Amino acid sequence: MVGFAIIGVLLLIAGISVVVARQPVYSALALVGVTLGLAMIYLMLSADFLAVAQVIVYAGAIMVLFLFVVTLLTAGKEDKEPADTLAGQRWAGALFGLLVGGALAVDAVLHPAPKIAAPVVPGFGGLHAVGEALWGPAFVMLAGVALLLLTAVLGVLMLNHPEAAEKIAGHRRTTPPGVTVSPAEGEDGA
């Protein structure tokens, strides 16, 4: 319980500094702190595989890519407070956020979920339990999500890389014979 309290406080500090920090790199670092703290909480719940997966996937890969982009964006730039375009939006946002949080808390107290009281399966969050959950009954869902993500990646490729898109589409948008148009030439002409 003491450990949970310490990690909880650290997590809250890290989470708040993600939002508050003016320097985007600090925000990203605080987010790394959040993922590491979450991994600690998984460890305390003896879900060791989830904890390690959290570190490998989020801290080791996704947040590194975040930092990759953020360091490129902010190299040598001043970090100034952006102008508040909508008057009082922060206070309004804070107020509504508190209201939503309060409503959720009241609802949780009035209607506690009965299933939370049930104990989890033994070995929950370990290597074998996660493996059996993913490759057992939930495999169709896993494959579905994988397909969905693959589609999303291909979509980004199509949107950002017109030449590759044309190649994939099998040269459907062929240019008339004798006319060669490449994006660079088009820009030069304009």
Partner 1 sequence: MILQIAILVVKILLLVGILLGGFAYLSLVERRLLGFFQLRLGPNRVGPEGLLQPIADAIKMMLKEDLMPLGADPWVFRMAPVIAGFAALSVDAVIPFGAPIHLFGQTITLDIANPDIGLLIAFALSSLGVYGLVLGGWASQNKYSLLGGIRATAQIISYELAMGLSVMGVLLMAHTANLEGIVLAQRAHGWFWLPQILPFLIYTTTAIAETNRTPFDLPEAESELVAGYHTEYSGMRFALFYVAEYINVITQCGLIVTLFFGGWLGPSFLPPIIWYFIKVGIGVFVFIWIRATLPRFRYDKLMSFGWKVLLPAAFVYFLGTAAFVSGVL
Site of interaction with partner 1 (CB under 8 A) = 23, 25, 29, 32, 48-49, 52-53, 55-56, 59-61, 64-65, 67-68, 71-72, 75-76, 126-127
Q: How far is the CB of 99 from partner 1 (least distance, A)?
A: 36
* Smallest distance, partner 1 to C-beta of residue 89, A: 30
Q: Which is nearer to partner 1, 44 or 108 (CB)?
A: 44
* Cβ proximity to partner 1, 7 vs 59, nearer residue: 59
Least CB distance to partner 1 at residue 179 (A): 30
**Minimum CB distance to partner 1 smaller for 96 or for 139:** 139
Asked if 63 and 31 touch (Cβ cutoff 8 Å), the reply is yes
Cα distance from N-terminal residue to C-terminal residue, the chain: 67
For residue 64, the minimal CB distance to partner 1 (Å) is 6
**Nearest approach, Cβ of 115 to partner 1 (angstroms)?**
28
Nearest approach in angstroms of CB 69 to partner 1 is: 10
Q: Are residues 15 and 36 in contact, defined by beta-carbon separation less than 8 angstroms?
A: no
Yes or no: say if 43 and 32 are a contact pair by the CB < 8 Å rule: no
Closer residue to partner 1, CB minimum distance, 76 or 178? 76
Nearer to partner 1, 76 or 137 (CB): 76
Do residues 19 and 93 touch, judged by C-beta distance below 8 A? no
> φ, ψ for residue 126 (rounded to 5)?
-85, 175
CA 152 and chain centroid, separation: 15
Residue 48 vs 132, nearer CB to partner 1: 48
State the residue for tokens 């993913």. Answer: 134
Supply 177's token pair: 């014979």
**Maximal C-alpha separation, the chain:** 76
Q: How far apart are CA 80 and CA 72, in angstroms?
A: 17
Tally the C-alpha atoms within 13 A of residue 146's C-alpha that lie toward its C-beta: 8
